[in-house]
Amino acid sequence: MLIEKVYFAIDMSQSIVLFGPPGAGKGTQADAIVEATGKPQVSTGDMLRAALAAGTTLGLEAKKYMEAGELVPDDIIIGLIEERMQQDDASEGVLFDGFPRTIPQAEALAEIAEVSLVISIEVPDDAIVGRIVGRRMDPDTGDIYHVTFKPAPAEIAARLIQRKDDNEEAVRTRLTAYHNQTSPLAKWYEEKGLLATVNGNQAMADVGAEISAVLN
Ligand code: AMP
């Protein structure tokens, strides 16, 4: 009988998707992946927050969904990605962070860019609420801290801000959206042979080491 060997081939000229529930540490791990691969990070959450801060029509339209913790409609998100992927720095693939979040988004992405790897960071729900509610951001650098797990140095503590959707009610809605609309994507990508899972319920450095092992 012929035994067929299947290799997990990562084409580094293609895009990578970082996938996981809110508070899984995607942003932190994305920074390390950007450094390791040279790919630009494309975070739909960051793009929407920038649009909101700039007061664009798109930002204002997205605002009510974001603050409630609900997903922004697919057509808005797909439009943002189509535009972003036309920029020069996206030609060698990008690191998607927080996109796709629905099957229609993943189907649209398949038409726009080639994905060679999907890294799923798995964290149980009961670990997530505390992580998110204690999360704080340095608005000057974008660095993320946590009131208990990663306190900021005293000199910057005063300027830290909390995301509007990092409250318990919005987190529960975001988790529901994740389970209903986003988590089916894991199986979708697994069937395509693209999914690698890592344990996100451990120290950040250990999550990073698992991701490096996947990338190498
Ligand atoms: P994030 O920063 O990735 O946690 O995203 C913050 C919020 O932006 C989410 O709770 C959604 O309201 C919205 N959002 C970000 N990315 C997407 C996406 N791919 N699809 C739908 N909504 C999104």
Using CA positions, which residue lies closest to atom 15 of ligand 1? 45
- Nearest atom, ligand 1, residue 100 CA: 19
Q: Which of 129, 119, 142, 101 is nearest to 216 (CA)?
A: 119
Report if residue 59 sits inside a domain.
Answer: no
Report if residue 201 sits inside a domain.
Answer: yes
Q: Is 22 touching ligand 1 by the criterion CB < 6 Å?
A: yes
Gap from CA of 66 to ligand 1 centroid (Å)? 7
Report the number of distinct structural domains present in the chain.
1
pLDDT number for residue 11: 64
Strand spans (E) along 114-194:
115-122, 135-137, 144-146
* Per-residue pLDDT tens over the stretch 53-93: 999 999 999 999 999 999 999 999 999 999 999 999 999 99
Report if residue 69 sits inside a domain.
Answer: no
Q: Where are the alpha helices (DSSP H) in 85-124?
A: 103-112
pTM of the model: 0.89
Report if residue 71 sits inside a domain.
Answer: no
User: Which domain does 133 fall in, by range?
Assistant: 1-24+119-210
Residue 7 has pLDDT above 70, yes or no: no
Q: Is 188 touching ligand 1 by the criterion CB < 6 Å?
A: no
Report if residue 90 sits inside a domain.
Answer: no
| Residue 202: φ, ψ to 5° | -155, 175
| Residue 55: φ, ψ to 5° | 70, 25
Gap from CA of 3 to ligand 1 centroid (Å)? 43
Residues 6+ apart with CB under 8 A from 78: 104, 105, 108
Q: Is 65 touching ligand 1 by the criterion CB < 6 Å?
A: yes
Mean pLDDT of the chain: 92
Residue 87: how many other CB atoms lie within 10 Å:
11
Report if residue 182 sits inside a domain.
Answer: yes
Q: CATH code at 173?
A: 3.40.50.300
Report if residue 139 sits inside a domain.
Answer: yes
Distances from the Cα of 78 to the Cαs of 44, 111, 120, in angstroms?
A: 10, 11, 21
Q: Is 48 touching ligand 1 by the criterion CB < 6 Å?
A: yes
* Per-residue pLDDT tens over the stretch 104-131: 999 999 999 999 999 999 999 989 999 9
